[in-house]
Structure 1
Amino acid sequence: MGANYRESRLNYQMITQDDALKAACDAARGAPAIALDTEFVRTRTYYPQLGLIQMYDGDSVVLIDPLSITDWTPFRDLLLDVAVTKYLHAGSEDLEVFLNTFGVLPEPLIDTQILAAFCGRPMSWGFAAMVEEYTGIALDKSESRTDWLARPLTERQCDYAAADVWYLLPIAHKLMAETEASGWLPAALDECRLMQQRRREVVPPSEAWRDISNAWQLRTRQLACLQLLADWRLRKARERDLAVNFVVREEHLWSVARYMPGSMGELDSLGLSGSEIRFHGKTLLGLVSTAQALPEDALPEPLLNLMDMPGYRKAFKEIKALVQDVSKEKGVSAELLASRRQINQLLNAHWGLKASNGVPEMLAGWRGDMMAGKLNTLLDAYPRQG
């Protein structure tokens, strides 16, 4: 890339007022594409705390200070303007920030990490590695873990943040051309849509118990107790904007469901912290009491552990082998075709072990086009449960 990349300092505008934000967003809506990035902090909170938004429209780099903006309408309108393509790199967490802060996701969205994966780069190719390959420049990443909520932001923080979008946009155009030339662009865009779809899926509190480690070890009444406890904890976490383990630690929640204590002293003997008992002890004991009073017909079915299913290891191995064959045949990495999570999602759905949102990812979209028929034939050898 050109010599303009080698400026020692990037020019950018710091936006702290609503009228400046509107002007920047109006200008960006005249561009065919923009690069976006966010900086946020998430230590004890349930939701990420937005510290900065970076945007580059090919003309101007702007840094938007969210702590001083009150009217986000122009930015929301820009995010939803389908005439402007939005590029991010490894943008899953950025999408969470946009969804929680503005209630919308960027449309249309293209993730350069996904484009790169379809062009033979590693699945989790970092931004700095990408910039170095395309420009020969080694970015200083020392600011990545600094406090983005502190004010004033330092010059180093602002330079670091501006560089993220300054390099991203021209590299995105190159990756688009490479992906198109390889014939994988439709699949890559499909994968970007899938990333957005995953981000939109919000766990209902009533289903939170299914994600607790070792829930499958519990009997039905203990599971009913865990269901009540996990529902309460997730609601409390969202209501107070507190990470779930800062409400009650997961292993403590499981212990309460397993032993169903009847007193504060028993909670203490299970290893709960003083603050957990002080703030939530009465609530936890009340939920245990509710679970103990449930009639038998109100108890959930026992959870089956996927790894313990007869045929799991064999089925997993056969699916991996099929994926390797398709990978060689189609010239796309096996890692991109199917992750362990996706194989387990497929088997969970096939055996009816977990409620799923729609079709398993390996049977849908571009993966389904390549593998659905072969996978369904393979799965026929492993009968469904019940």
Structure 2
Amino acid sequence: MYIATQENLAAFVERARSSSVLAIDTEFLREKTYYAKLCLLQMATDDEVVIVDPFEMDDLSVLAPLLTDERIVKLFHAAGQDLEIILREVGVLPRPVFDTQIAAALLGHTQQIGYAALVHAECGVSLKKIDSFTDWSRRPLSASQRDYAADDVVYLPRLYAGMRAALEEKGRLHWLDHDFEELSDPARYEANERERFRRLKRVSQLSRRQLSAAREVAAWRELEAQRRDVPRKWVVTDEQIVEACKREARTIDELFMVRGLSDRLSTKDARAVVSLISSALSTPPDTWPELDRCGKSEPNVDAELDLMSALVRLRAKENGIAFPTLASHDDLARVARGYREGVDLLRGWRRAIVGEELLELLDGRLALSLDGGLKVERREGPGAA
């Protein structure tokens, strides 16, 4: 059903309140904007599939009571961007949530498996992807576009039923509670413009002093892109920010030595940028930021990482879980260097499967050996706790 009136949307909301599940997907564009432009909202219940045209709606907040109804499980595949858009357009985050991509990783599928691949693997259906890169903002939509959009939710209830049963059989259903609760946490979608500098391309080329300038310019760019609703690279590119800060540009002439900046920045904006750079470069060293990276003072943990990876690979294979899902390289490195807080590997089901053993391995209470395969043994004596 194609919904293009506020009245039909309200009627669907009432019908959907009796459903056990609500599958959700979105189609959007963001090539020319900072904020994603919602072009379609697809939903499926136990009984029907609808495609909502947001261009024809006066108010999407009518969906809020449905999206927050705790009796209805909200189904997504790779929910991150969809949830961010829903929060901005509707004003709430759906809950409770079940993400089939996250769940798939606990059932032997590759990490970040695509929706089409998962539908083929679990339902034996090959989806047509001819409209993957279509312009969803154009109207009217073609029949193939509507079919494509509907396909993105029509199989989610079936996937959910099968995956939930498989997870229950393996005793893993509640392993994902924390992951799914985090998806519905508004803090996850709050942008911190003063942390944006950490994601600049080539930012590692800068000294800590220059990083303080990059932090200010990147934050200015973020707010400016939001105000104009344009991609941040349309204001200035990552490379231009890094080059300007590397040059320590304190005047407009010095700033415009960076290729392309004179074409992008007005005199007013250029004055603001050089003022930010100059002020930041003059701040005391104890205010300069640091990148989250291994510094010269960090111990070399290559040997520890080799042993830890071997143990993780073993437990991942035994449990039919993708290695990166069980333990990321960054988490392994942090644990090897002594970090114990804020590490996913040391929380919940990951800790139960391998996290605790990794701590024992680092403490000398476990030993690894080869005996027709990797063998894990608990050590006796001084090395054991």
TM-score (norm 2): 0.84
**Structure 2 alignment gaps of length 5 or more:** 365-385
Q: 1:361 aligns with which of 333, 344, 347?
A: 344
SS at match of 1:239: helix
Aligned to 1:327: 316
Q: Does the CA-based 8 Å contact 1:95-1:199 persist in structure 2?
A: no
Mark the CA change 1:311 to 1:341 in structure 2 (over 3 Å): closer, same or farther.
Answer: closer
The yes-or-no answer on 1:306 pairing with 2:294 is: yes
Q: Which residue of 2 aligns with 1:161?
A: 149
Q: CA 1:198–1:115 in 2, change beyond 3 Å: closer, same or farther?
A: farther
1:373 alignment partner AA: E
Q: Residue 88 of structure 2 corresponds to which residue in structure 1? A: 100
Unaligned runs of 5+ in 1: 1-12, 352-357, 382-386
Residue identity matched to 2:303 = K
The answer to whether the 8 Å contact 2:208/2:290 transfers is: yes
Q: State the 1:127 CA deviation.
A: 1.7
Indicate the SS of the match to 1:183.
coil
Q: Structure 2: how far apart are the matches of 1:18 and 1:260?
A: 54
Percent identity over the alignment is 31
* 1:227-281 deviation per Cα after TM superposition (whole angstroms, max 9, x unaligned): 2112211222222222222221111111111111233333332223443233732
Match of 1:340 among 329, 333, 345: 329
Match of 1:374 in 2: 357
* 1:238 corresponds to 2:221: no
**Counterpart amino acid of 2:246?**
R
Native 8 Å contact 1:86 1:108 kept in 2: yes
Q: Deviations along 1:60-94, whole A, 9 cap, x unmatched? A: 21111111111223311111111001111122221
For 2:154, give the aligned amino acid.
Answer: W
Q: Do the aligned partners of residues 121 and 299 (structure 1) sit closer, same or farther apart at CA in structure 2, a change above 3 Å counting?
A: closer
C-alpha distance in 2 between matches for 1:380 and 1:198: 38
Query: What's the offset of the Cα at 1:171?
Result: 2.5
Q: Which residue of 2 aligns with 1:41?
A: 29
Could you say what secondary structure the match of 2:266 adopts? helix
In the TM superposition, 1:239-318 aligns within 5 A as: 239-278=227-266, 280-294=269-283, 296=284, 299-300=287-288, 302-303=290-291, 305-306=293-294, 309-318=298-307
CA contact (8 A) 1:208 1:230 kept: yes
1:204 positional shift: 1.7
* C-alpha separation in 2, matches of 1:201 and 1:26: 28
Structure 1 Cα separation of the partners of residues 39 and 143 of structure 2: 15
Aligned-partner SS, 1:44: coil
3-state SS of the aligned residue for 2:256?
helix
Measured on the aligned residues, the alpha-carbon RMSD in Å equals 2.7
**Is residue 167 of structure 2 the alignment partner of residue 179 of structure 1?**
yes
Aligned position for 2:375: none
The aligned residue for residue 139 of structure 1 is 127
Alpha-carbon distance in structure 2 between the residues aligned to 1:243 and 1:348: 37
Q: Secondary structure at the match of 1:82?
A: coil
The CA deviation at 1:130 is 2.5
1:170 corresponds to 2:158: yes
Distance 2:61 2:197 in 1: 37
SS in 2 for 1:175: helix
Q: 3-state SS of the aligned residue for 1:19?
A: helix
Q: How many residues align?
A: 362
> How far 1:341 sits from its partner (Å)?
4.5
The 3 A distance-change label for structure 1 pair 18 and 200 is same
CA distance in 2, matches of 1:215, 1:198: 28
**Secondary structure of residue in 2 paired with 1:53:** strand
Do 1:346 and 1:361's aligned partners in 2 also have CA atoms closer than 8 Å?
A: no
What's the CA shift for 1:350? 2.5
- Give me the whole-angstrom Cα distance separating, in 2, the residues matched to 1:379 and 1:300: 33
Q: Counterpart in 1 of 2:369?
A: none
Contact 1:53 1:64 in 2 (8 A): yes
